[in-house]
A and B are shown apart, each in its own frame.
Chain A
């Protein structure tokens, strides 16, 4: 095991997979950085430090620094994938999917099915998402809500450095398109990561990060840590929380969710995206449909309100879910009679 940052887990996994498979190619804005400048290539190495050193190691044919052209980046990833390569495309901010959505939604996601299963599209699209930096409405969003609803995409949102390692390797070796969502506020977090260069975590297997048996809290990404804090606090009061880290929103691990809810009968879904037609609504519907007889309280969701993300510190704090908001929701479902 090695102790490493979330961002280092991203970079080292890409590095290892590029060493293993000459068909793995990286492309995106400033993934090299400094191209066409006096400072020279690698002056940046990716704004999240998730591609530092790749260009020196693998050169310009496999580490393709692109202009600010999100449609061209994702479209080129599609063409690379249909031509036998395994592209890892980076969108600097998840919010930029809007610029490139046709290539994600109408192209990459549909090729396998629309072409009769005769071709696969092994593209990974990485993007940094999430709020907490006062980056406001166009640089803070959580986009899994939009992408999970699109048939043909696998959507991954790792919480820990170990999960980054295992899930990103699975994504790169997968023959279908994978959206890989990296939370900006988690990049500098650290954790123990297996050294095995074949360490992989299969998609569709959630992680039970706390086992308690009285209430089920479901989340993924930055907010999972808040859910764990609530669970740890309530444990002191003799209340046991199951905390489920989804890891992937598609495929969805229904079994782990339903197994927990059948024991607890009480559910809180905690999500960083807005409430309507999102993960919270989706999972509340899931337990209502498939675990109705086990429920002892209405399932609740804790999400931001249905507004764009505001800028000012006070406003963003008020907008986001918090430990207090999650705790209040958990107490509400526990108190339901």
Chain B
């Protein structure tokens, strides 16, 4: 009993000391606070490694499934089809992973930690920028896994290593900008379920009704015209170009235009909602 009392009083003294120190350090720079949020995301991966399934197992399943499912039917042989499919399926997989950014944010809001971040005297976007930086690492990881597996299965990029790096670079730029769509939705939707549903509703048509699996010229005219302006198709064009060593300046430009549009609309919208979330 007396032991316990001693412990309590010791705590009280420490408590008083801890509270008495009223030093307020200088506010962190935007870079420093963003990096703190990045390290939070890395710690979360360390503690909940299952969340890496989407960038490890998911891409492997996708690549194997679609190569062997459609290869014979569409291109006559899987080896032939892989050459066409890999850049597209890479885009599709990484684009689909981007939606988890919104889900993480949505969880933060419902759990209350979001309120704490918003009352801190920090550069407001750093919570999102920090998380997106780690997402870039995750996307790169997913890309590396898919390209490696593709190589094992017989994929041979004519663009060489430079072409592959250029292709991944295109994907990262595009996905960084696309992510702001999900952060916007993550702030609007009230539950994780409804957010998932809306995200899938956007992503499924966008990734499937594109040039990922088939040559758009085989499609009926009205569908072809949609596929041609689908931002995913634009990205796939550039990524294929880089990997096959025949990329055009125009294809690259379109990726930048599509990415720019996503970013210019959804990044400010996200920040507006972030600041004014009820």
A joins B in a complex: no
Q: A: which residues have CB within 8 A of B?
A: none
Interface residues of B (CB under 8 A from A): none
